[in-house]
Structure formats: structure tokens, C-alpha cells
Amino acid sequence: KLKTIARRADLKSYVERTPQLNRLLRQAASRYITGNFRQDGIEVGRKLVAKGYAISIEYIGENTTDATECEAIVAEMKALIIDLGQAGISARVSFDLSHIGLSLHQELAFSNLMKLAEQVQGTGLELFISMEESSKTDDILSVYKQAVSVYPNVGITLQAHLTRTPQDLASLPSPSRIRIVKGAYQESSDYSISRSPELNHRYLELVESAIRQGQRVSIASHDEVIINEVLERGWLSDSKVEIEMLYGIRPELASRMQNIGHPVRIYLPYGHEWYLYLCHRIAEFPPNLYQAVIDMVGN
Ligand code: FAD
């Protein structure tokens, strides 16, 4: 609900039009976002890579409804791919398909994805598709499956909270690159499982199935219950399995894991659409609202 309220266009535009509020919220967002520009993400990435982490990087955005804007976003992502290559950073470039055209036409998202996939050929980079609201799951999986049949270095995110996900996982080609998340969107209880031990059980079952299928798996969670179970089961000794966490969330847990030699990837967002990204982080973990207030007051 919090996210739905925050995403209302009138509230977003109020934030944009009110400089003091905008500045304070931007300050709170800086805990989770590397900066406005790709060089900010690359710079943070360079430091993390030097410490032994792998990185993902995202030019934040979603639901683009203008074709010209989609072109500009694809151009930015191509520039990101070139700059990462020049910096010698072997990253995973993550994005929402709705950022590059899915909200207009599935074909537009597919053709833009193919342009990006062409660009990453031979660079050692990966392209990684995020998963959005369940109304888009079929389209996202369809675009992914078409793309990965041509370009194997494209990966996909699956949400454990949707009851359909075990079937979706079984339908993926092998080997695929899969990120498993709990799910950040509010969905109907008719076809989703809310945060609970049952969801954790489902999450671990999905990870286990994906590993058995021989997939490359990113366990994208900050939940210590999940992570302790992953350690207990020895899954991280498989070189195709890693932990992935969002920048600014549980950094001490990420560093503890990395210090004991486990592969950890940090997800680095950058860009001007920080407001919605901040809303996502607060909605998935409401105590972050207090953290946001502390960040605003403290600065
Ligand atoms: P939760 O049960 O939500 O939280 C467990 C514990 O983790 C909490 O008690 C708290 O200690 C800590 N924690 C969790 N979230 C936060 C937070 N925001 N701030 C501070 N502490 C927190 N979702 C999608 O729907 N689609 C995607 O494509 C997608 N991509 C993602 C990519 C990555 C790399 C990651 C890490 C997450 C992604 N998510 C995505 C978000 C995901 O679905 C969850 O909403 C998010 O990871 C929180 O779930 P959790 O597994 O950490 O466990």
C-alpha cells in the first residue's frame, strides 16, 4: 500500500516540485543509490571489485511509455556497457524490460533487448532481466526465452512469492542464469505467498531445484534465515552459485560472507529515478522508513 501511495503521479510530482523535500528524500535515497550518473555506479563498482565482490549495475527506471525515451534509455545502457568494458569491470547489467519498451509493445522490448545483447557480445558482461508485477510475468518470460535462445549471456529473475514460479523455473532452458528473489510487488493472495516461513521454504526449494537443473544461480536475499540455510546445505561450494544483495542493505552481512570466502555480488543502482527505487526499499521493509527519517534529519 505504501508503494502504491508513493507511486501516485501527483505525489511524485509534488516531491519533484518541492526542493526541500526533494533534497531530503534524495539524501535518504543515497543510502541505496550510487549516484545520478553511470560513472557514479562504475566508481563504486570499481572499489567493490577491488575488494573481491562481483557487481550488478542498473540504470534505474521502469514503465517507460514513450518510444523516444526508450531509445534514450537504450543509448544510456549501451554507453554503460562501453564504459564498463573500458574500465575492465566484468559486471552484470540489470534492468526492467518495462524500462526499455515492454509497457508500449512486447516487440519493442524484445528488439531493444537484442540491441543490448548484441552490444555485450564478446565483452564478458551479462545482461540480466528483472521480474516485475505478475501481470507482466508471461511477457517477460516470453521475451527472455526468445533472447536467450540467441544470446546465452542473458539472465532472468524469478520471484519465489508467486505460486506459478516452480513451473516457470521448470520451463527454462538449461543452462540458464537465474536470480531468485522473494518478490517486491504486492500481489493477490490467490496466487502469491506473503513473507512467512512458508515463503522461505518455497524459496529454498526453488534454489535447490535450480541447482539440480545445473543452472547458474544468484541467491538474491538479505534474509539471514535463508543465508544460514544456504551455508548449512553447502550450496555456495558450487561455483555456479552466489549470494547477491542490494547496495546499502545489510552491508555488514555481505562483508561477513565475503570475508569467509563466499562469492557475493552487490547490486548497484544509479540514475535520476531514485524516488521510486527508495519507495521500493521502504515498502519491502517498512522499518526503512525510520532509517530514511534518520538519514534526512541527520543531514
Ligand atoms: P525479507 O523477508 O524481505 O527480509 C529479510 C530480512 O532482510 C529483513 O528482516 C531485514 O533484516 C533484511 N532486509 C530485507 N529487505 C531490506 C531492506 N529493504 N532494507 C533493510 N533490510 C532489509 N524483486 C522483484 O520483485 N523483482 C526483481 O527483479 C528483484 N530484483 C532483485 C535483485 C536483487 C539483487 C535483490 C537482492 C533483490 C531484488 N528484488 C527484486 C527484491 C526482492 O524481491 C525482495 O523484495 C528483497 O530482496 C527483500 O527480500 P529479502 O529476501 O531480503 O527478505
List the one residue out of 111, 72, 65, 74 whose CA is nearest residue 95. Answer: 74
Question: Measured from the CA of 203, which atom of ligand 1 is nearest?
Answer: 51
DSSP, collapsed to helix, strand or coil, labels residue 131 as: coil
pLDDT of residue 5: 56
Q: How confident is the model at residue 241 (pLDDT cuts 50, 70, 90)?
A: very high
What pLDDT sits at residue 299? 55
Q: Whose CA is nearest to atom 43 of ligand 1?
A: 183
Looking at the predicted structure, is the pLDDT value of residue 139 above 60?
yes
pTM of the predicted model as reported, rounded to 2 decimal places: 0.93
For residue 185 and ligand 1, the question of a CB distance below 6 A is answered with yes
114 has binding-site annotation: no
221 carries a ligand binding annotation: yes
What is the grid cell recorded at 287?
522499518
- Residue 293 scores a pLDDT above 80: no
Helix (H, G, I), strand (E, B) or coil at 272: coil
The verdict on ipTM greater than 0.90 is yes
192 lines ligand 1 (CB under 6 A): no
Q: Which of the four pLDDT bands, split at 50, 70 and 90, describes residue 281?
A: confident
Average pLDDT over residues 197-224: 97
What confidence score (pLDDT) does residue 165 get? 98
Q: What is the pLDDT of residues 86-116, one digit of tens each?
A: 999 999 999 999 999 999 999 999 999 999 9
How much is the pLDDT for 6?
Answer: 61
Mean of the pLDDT values across residues 33-43? 96
Helix axes 224-232, 251-259, angle to 10 degrees: 10
* Residue 297: per-residue pLDDT: 72
Question: Up-side HSE of residue 270: CA atoms within 13 Å toward CB?
Answer: 22
Dihedral over Cα of 179, 181, 184, 190: its sign: positive
Q: How far apart are CA 123 and CA 143, in angstroms?
A: 22
The DSSP bridge partners found for residue 178 are 156, 217
CATH number for 34-270 (one of 3.20.20.220, 3.60.15.10, 3.40.50.720, 3.40.980.10): it is 3.20.20.220
Is residue 2 over pLDDT 70?
A: no
Confidence tier at 246 by pLDDT (50, 70, 90): very high
Which of ligand 1's atoms lies nearest the C-alpha of 130? Answer: 28
Q: Is 192 annotated as a binding residue?
A: no
3-class DSSP state of 94: strand
- pLDDT for position 148: 97
Q: Provide the mean pLDDT of the chain.
A: 92
Can you give the pLDDT at residue 180? Answer: 98
